[in-house]
Amino acid sequence: MPGFEIFGEEERQQVNDVLKTGVLFRYGFDAARNGHWKARSFETELAARLGLGHAHLCASGTAALATALAACGVGAGDAVIVPPFTFVATVEAVLMAGAIPVFAEIDETLCLSPEGVAAALTPTTRAVLPVHMCGAMARIDELKAFCDKNGLILIEDACQSVGASYQGKALGAFGKAGCFSFDPVKTITCGEGGAVVTDDAAVYAAAHAFADHGHDHIGNDRGAEDHLMIGANYRISELNAAVGLAQLRKLDGILETQRRNKAALKDAMQAIPGVTFRQLPDAAGDSATFLTFFIPDVEKARQAVKSLAAAGVDGCFHWFDNNWHYIRKWDHFRELKAAARLAVQTLPDCPDFRSVQLPQSDALIGRAISMQIKLGWTTEQLAQRVAATVSALKAVA
């Protein structure tokens, strides 16, 4: 990862198709398009790739999350169970929907644990929003079973895990809706973009309308369309979709390269004392965007990141000290610093997010390091990285 490492003639051709028509907007202008519908084509191919009936492209992964929550009927006053280890956009989308994020513990998958979700359940819980972090899966079958048993909506944040699967079924395909991101550092990229995917025709119709000011998209005269609901502008452009379409067609090759490079590193690290690895419920379904491993304690993990950097091993993240991906450093969220008052702040029992305590998650994230797996490494560069990684970690672990 990410897909921009392999931009080539395919992306240029798709973009040039759009520029030649002069139609950058994803809707309308049928006669001028010369048959080019990049967003539609991307959606059709993505849905087929995931084994689902529907996909709708959005302007970003964050827009996809907001759209999925709305399309699934999650809104004001609803409690949504979320993990503390995610990109902050997951929580922002819940807040912007007027809903209440409720944090539950993760396990050694580094994703929401079914036990943590059960402990966080309240009478106001409406949905569970697991995040398949760093390219691999939560215990999604157990989470789905829990949601089904308790009448909860399951929405998957698979923004970092396009191409990953569990027992042969694509991540993002287990819940009422799934969400993907195609931003600059994702496995495949549009520059900016995201998608809502679902097998539920009603959810798709709601997502398609909500993300475009409520338009019903019936007929071929946009100005005459009716409005199904109040919505937002979360549309993707044809230029972004064009890049993503070319990238999606490269996904199999990307996954093959990532898995090969990750295996070389992981195999070499197996014998390092003190190094263990993230639990993968289905190793064959890992998209292999990251190799995540544990060091015995938080201080040694900090030392390990420094040792790796000194050895020239870049792209290693200690999430415990990361500003964007773990709740520990989200001071702006804990204090609900916002441009305007949030819906959650109007509640008589507004949660005190400053008091959230997640000791199990802290213990895991404190010891976890994720190493980015690149697509562009040559055989020689990969061999050098393997040797440098083993040497750096042996000096610490």
**Tens of pLDDT along 318-332?**
999 999 999 999 999
Rg for the chain, CA atoms, rounded: 21
Write down the pTM of the prediction.
Answer: 0.97
Class of domain 252-394: alpha beta
Mean pLDDT (the chain) is 97
pLDDT at 315 > cutoff 90: yes
Chain segment 239-255, per-residue pLDDT in tens:
999 999 999 999 999 99
In the chain, which residues fall in CATH 3.40.640.10? 3-250
Q: Is the pLDDT of residue 31 over 90?
A: yes
CA atoms within 13 A on the CB side of 377: 23
Above 90 in pLDDT, residue 1?
no
- pLDDT score for 2: 83
Q: Does the pLDDT value for residue 10 go beyond 90? A: yes
| Element (DSSP H or E) covering residue 353 | none
- 386's CB contacts (< 8 A; 6+ apart) are 264, 265, 268
Cis status of the peptide bond prior to 2, with omega within 30 of 0: yes
User: Percent of the chain scored above 70 by pLDDT?
Assistant: 100
pLDDT, residue 289, reads: 97
Residue 57 has a pLDDT of 98
pLDDT of residue 297: 96
Where does 3-250 sit in CATH, by number?
3.40.640.10
Q: Which of the four pLDDT bands, split at 50, 70 and 90, describes residue 3?
A: confident
Q: 117: closest CA among 370, 358, 379, 384?
A: 358
Please list the alpha-helical segments (H only) found in the chain. Answer: 9-21, 38-50, 61-71, 89-96, 114-120, 140-150, 201-210, 238-248, 251-269, 298-310, 331-334, 359-367, 379-394
The mean pLDDT value for 384-389 works out to 98
The backbone torsions φ and ψ at residue 335, rounded to the nearest 5 degrees and listed phi first, read: -95, 0
Please tell me the predicted confidence (pLDDT) of residue 322.
93
199-257, pLDDT tens digit by residue? 999 999 999 999 999 999 999 899 999 999 999 999 999 999 999 999 999 999 999 99
pLDDT tens figures, 259-278:
999 999 999 999 999 999 99
pLDDT at 47 over 80: yes
Q: Which of 249, 226, 214 is nearest to 67 (CA)?
A: 214
How remote is the C-alpha of 286 from its chain's centroid? Answer: 14
Per the residue annotation, which of 176, 186, 262, 266 is the catalytic one? Answer: 186
CB 269 within 8 A of CB 390: yes
- Predicted local distance difference test score (pLDDT) of residue 5: 94
What is the side-by-side order of every strand in the sheet holding 290-294?
276-277, 290-294, 368-372, 316-317
Model pLDDT, residue 195:
98
CATH 3.90.1150.10, the chain: domain bounds: 252-394
Query: Is 306 annotated as catalytic?
Result: no
Q: What is the pLDDT of residues 69-79, one digit of tens each?
A: 999 999 999 99
Residue 397 has pLDDT above 80, yes or no: no
Paired sense of beta strands 194-198 and 177-181, if any: antiparallel
**Distance (Å, whole) CA 377 – CA 265:** 12
Q: What is the DSSP string of 300-335?
A: HHHHHHHHHHHTT---EE-GGG-SSSBGGG-HHHHT
What are 150-198's pLDDT values in tens digits? 999 999 999 999 999 999 999 999 999 999 999 999 999 999 999 999 9
pLDDT, residue 370, reads 98
AA letter at 163: G
Q: Is the pLDDT of residue 82 over 80?
A: yes
End-to-end CA distance of the chain: 27
